[in-house]
Structure 1
Amino acid sequence: MLDLHVHALRLHADPSRVVVRPFHIAWAGANGGAPSRTERLVREVLEMNPGEAHVQLEAVLKDFEARHWQTRRVFMTRYDEIEAMLGLDGRDIGDEKRQLIGAYFCHEYSYAAAALMNPSVVPHFDQSGMPRGSQRILMSMRAVGEGHISSVAFREGIITDRNELKLAPEPPFATAADAVGDETEMPEGPVTVYRHRDSTLSGTVIFPITAQQSKGLEDLRLVQFTHDDGEKEWIGTYTAYNGSAIQSELMRTRDFRAFDLVPMSGSASRNKGMALFPRKIGGKYMMIGRQDGENIFVIASDRIDHWDEGQLLLQPEYPWELVQMGNCGPPIETDAGWILLTHGVGAMRKYSIGAALLDKDDPTKVIGRTKEPILAAADQDREGYVPNVVYTCGAVKHGERLFIPYGIADSSIGFAFVEIEKLLKLM
């Protein structure tokens, strides 16, 4: 097995990480019709005398103000959304009643209580002030909370050419990105969510918004994509899950303030684990996929949001991957070719991470692949929610190294550095 530098840092599930989320009553399937339920709640607060409203708001603030960031402003923002939905005239409604109405349409959610896993990493959009040998990074993580619902969390940090990693401190409070628009029914199709204007990216969580995503946004594979005109966009592929069916979708952003969540079409988009190349090749968008749940395919398309059948690229060959194979994130461009991290499943459903090298001009050609895993579950990394699993959704090139964040037993996140030259010698 390859000699990796495994960093001592581990990230774990944390039930104390809570966020205030909008409580979309219309989406909860209320009796009697969602709009009437919303109107009834608002009417009940408006009919309270000022003293009672004050007492009720103070009770809410006593329970929650110290647990969340700018709680009163969050309640007021939520009230503004309800006012717009119902066409209210808030000029005659005092601040306390408006805050109380907002509180009734919010709820607290522990977004990483069950697990924190399956990260991907890209160069940060802001590299200002970085000394030689250092790079600012942006990591996405799959956070799993109540109801085993998966969301996307972020963490910023710095890596160096001395195998050092320093993560930015988590802010004491997290906020949920949210869509703007009609709340009388759950959105369908493309939707845009916005980071709160005063929230850091390390404190932002993106939750399911549409019906297709209702049970989770799973395994974001984030890549810094360079368009033909040289403009950069951060694009991620993820699995939207509604409890019975899956759909591959895109997350797109240029500023990490607004995030477009866009369903993909085509036969390949009905499968998990798609990973986008960071640029076009031969005038085509390129994607790595697993169309049959067993082998790895490469797919070409004229559109970034439409993917049909692809070409078989890799199939299980060695004992550690005989059950099935898949990608472990977007291919990484090097002078030698595209490094594709892979995962394999062997006996006793043990997951391992390997790698393959694809031709730089024609990624349908495999130059080499590792015969042994470069990382496998061992010792303390075996235990967790799903034992014997190591898994990554994407690494980043830093100088002559790869920095690989990886999920451990579907429960926590570890970090490793590997020298590219040593990796290539194993293929």
Structure 2
Amino acid sequence: MSLSLHRHQFTLQPESARVIIRPFIPASSHRLSTIIGRVLALTEAEVEEEMERVHAGFDDRHLDIESALFNHFVKVESQVFTQRQLSRARQLLIGAVFSGEYALESAALFNPSIVPHPDQTGVAEGGLRFIMSLRATGEGHISSIEFREGHIAPDGEITLTPVSRFVSLPEVVPNPGYRKKRFVIKLHEMGFDNECAMTVMNALADEFTRSELSACVVRVRRENLPLAHENRRTLECVQWLADSNYELRFPDKLALSERILFPVSDNESNGIEDARFVRFVEDDGNVLYYATYTAYNGRAILPQLIETQDFLHFRVLTLNGSAVQNKGMALFPRRVGGRYAMLSRQDDENLFVMFSDNPHYWSDPHLILRPAEVWESVKIGNCGSPLETEAGWLVITHGVGTMRQYCIGAALLDLNDPTRVIGRLRGPLLCPLGSEREGYVPNVVYSCGSLIHGGQLILPYAMSDKSTAIVSTPLAELLQAMKP
């Protein structure tokens, strides 16, 4: 059966002009001190003249350049070897010599997911405002998460809100909170359930802050001097785990396209990859947006979780459990049989589903789909969270076949028992065609999430790991094609 596909006439291309300011600080303390010394040797007139050049060259590229430069001055302030009071201009110039621009999406803008916007105010009846997340990749192949806003009109036409020239990093909340139970579980999984770790944890309340944790770590370190190697590694792990669970906050004045989630913790230092956002509705009707993503530090991957209600305040959390591994975890949009459900790929080949009473803890995966057709003979995975239909859970899949070509397919799971596959496309829903085949990784179409609206499947997809487009297809046709 041939499916009707409508490719919407726009493409999201990477834009090199969207830049943030990042620290540009040498690892050598000797070099750092030498650079600071050169700035301290300038006269005040020379400092002000140079700062005028900085403002003239960069003010129109950033919403608030001085805040970024001052933050970078604070990072090196302890190395400033003078007792005299520094002028604001000199502080900013020290920050400027330790700063550099980073083009977030200079290499690629791809792997999208799409969810209904939390604010539908003013949307015409039959229309929908949506948020699209995108993986942006720049110099050094560091990936981050960007956002776009758009509308689906009652007649099905899709438009995107114009993108701002500016991009802003969020504030990292300085003293986030933690829950002891999750913290202890993760320490146990990592092999740090020893006496040293328990001494730290036992001194904390069921919910504690980063400052309270740091005070406990300092006390335990002091009380156990000289520190044994195992205890040193344990305390370092406790601090690392705290750094991997953090909170971010954007000012509400920022447009959606101006917000960027850039790597914060060490375990994602080389990228936040392939976020799969889902609008999750609890049994009591409360709505929370989750996203699973892959943290990458250049050596290992770690699945993580994002939580937000408004796309202004984000909580980033480590996931726990023996089944938290590999890429492509995707949460169902509601509980199934009273439990949370998640798609995953445990073995880099097949598709699994797992259930949990806690969205932060996952184990006992059930194999549901193996490669069956030539176009998916190498491996299969999901293209985002399942979509609920009257016929069953619609799972958009990806398959890798000959010549490492990625195509997009679909499967249907039983609504009440998602371990049971009740339908599956024999052929691909979407394959790379024409110019879609050319890019950073050729012959790939891929998605991290779709939605259903107005009887249509709305599927944003990446083209060869470079740019992004949107295709739609009638839901009824797709479901009919998947009948057993």
Normalization by structure 2: what TM-score?
0.80
Contact 2:144 2:262 in 1 (8 A): yes
Alignment partners' CA distance in 1, 2:459 and 2:13: 17
Alignment partners' CA distance in 2, 1:419 and 1:91: 70
Residue 287 of structure 1 corresponds to: 342
Q: Letter of the 1:408 partner, please give it.
A: M
Match of 2:385 among 298, 308, 330: 330
Deviation, 1:244, is 1.2
Match of 1:62 among 28, 41, 56: 56
Match of 1:100 among 85, 93, 99: 93
Q: Letter of the 2:18 partner, please give it.
A: R
Superposed, 1:19-38 pairs within 5 Å as: 19-21=20-22, 23=23, 25=25, 30-32=27-29, 37=32
Q: Letter of the 1:7 partner, please give it.
A: H
Greater strand fraction, Structure 1 or Structure 2: 1
SS of equivalent to 1:261: strand
Greater helix fraction, Structure 1 or Structure 2: 2
Deviating above 6 A after TM superposition, structure 1's stretches of 4 or more consecutive aligned residues are 39-44, 80-83, 85-88
Residue 157 of structure 1 corresponds to: 150
**2:3 aligned with 1:2:** yes
**2:63 aligned with 1:72:** no
Residue 109 of structure 2 corresponds to: 116
**2:45 aligned with 1:51:** yes
Alignment partners' CA distance in 2, 1:234 and 1:46: 48
Residue 233 of structure 1 corresponds to: 288
Alignment partners' CA distance in 1, 2:124 and 2:260: 30
CA deviations 1:325-384 (Å, max 9, x no partner) are: 100000011222211100111111111111111111111111101111111111221111
Instruction: Name the larger-Rg structure.
Output: 2
Deviation, 1:397, is 1.4
Deviation, 1:9, is 0.4
Alignment partners' CA distance in 1, 2:50 and 2:253: 27
Residue 422 of structure 1 corresponds to: 477
Contact 2:173 2:246 in 1 (8 A): no
Deviation, 1:243, is 0.9
Deviation, 1:79, is 5.3
Residue 438 of structure 2 corresponds to: 383
Q: Letter of the 1:148 partner, please give it.
A: H
Match of 2:126 among 120, 128, 133: 133
Residue 178 of structure 2 corresponds to: none
SS of equivalent to 1:265: coil
Residue 271 of structure 1 corresponds to: 326
CA deviations 1:267-314 (Å, max 9, x no partner) are: 222210100011111121110001011110001112211212300111
SS of equivalent to 2:115: strand
Alignment partners' CA distance in 2, 1:328 and 1:423: 16
Contact 1:161 1:398 in 2 (8 A): no
Label 1:122 to 1:51 Cα distance change in 2 as closer, same or farther (>3 A).
same
Q: Which ranges of structure 1 fall in alignment gaps of 5 or more residues?
A: none
Alignment partners' CA distance in 1, 2:465 and 2:471: 17
CA deviations 1:154-197 (Å, max 9, x no partner) are: 11111124231111111111112342449xx9873201222245
Moved more, 73-82 or 381-390: 73-82
Match of 1:401 among 456, 460, 482: 456
Q: Letter of the 2:69 partner, please give it.
A: F
Label 1:81 to 1:133 Cα distance change in 2 as closer, same or farther (>3 A).
farther
Contact 2:279 2:289 in 1 (8 A): yes
Label 1:292 to 1:46 Cα distance change in 2 as closer, same or farther (>3 A).
same
Residue 447 of structure 2 corresponds to: 392
Alignment partners' CA distance in 1, 2:74 and 2:309: 27
Contact 2:457 2:474 in 1 (8 A): yes
Alignment partners' CA distance in 2, 1:228 and 1:104: 53
Contact 1:176 1:196 in 2 (8 A): no
Q: Letter of the 2:56 partner, please give it.
A: K
Moved more, 209-218 or 55-64: 55-64
Residue 317 of structure 1 corresponds to: 372
Moved more, 308-317 or 58-67: 58-67
Superposed, 1:188-207 pairs within 5 Å as: 188-196=243-251, 198-207=253-262
SS of equivalent to 1:20: strand
Q: Letter of the 2:28 partner, please give it.
A: N
Label 1:260 to 1:133 Cα distance change in 2 as closer, same or farther (>3 A).
same
SS of equivalent to 2:426: coil
Alignment partners' CA distance in 1, 2:286 and 2:98: 40
Q: Letter of the 1:337 partner, please give it.
A: G
Moved more, 66-75 or 390-399: 66-75
Q: Which ranges of structure 2 fall in alignment gaps of 5 or more residues?
A: 176-238
Contact 1:178 1:206 in 2 (8 A): no
What is the CA RMSD across the aligned residues, in angstroms? 2.7
Contact 2:36 2:80 in 1 (8 A): no
Contact 2:292 2:303 in 1 (8 A): yes
Residue 258 of structure 1 corresponds to: 313
Deviation, 1:421, is 0.5
Deviation, 1:71, is 2.2
Superposed, 1:331-350 pairs within 5 Å as: 331-350=386-405
Contact 2:17 2:165 in 1 (8 A): no
Contact 1:341 1:355 in 2 (8 A): yes
SS of equivalent to 1:267: coil
CA deviations 1:118-160 (Å, max 9, x no partner) are: 0000001110000012100000001110001111111111112
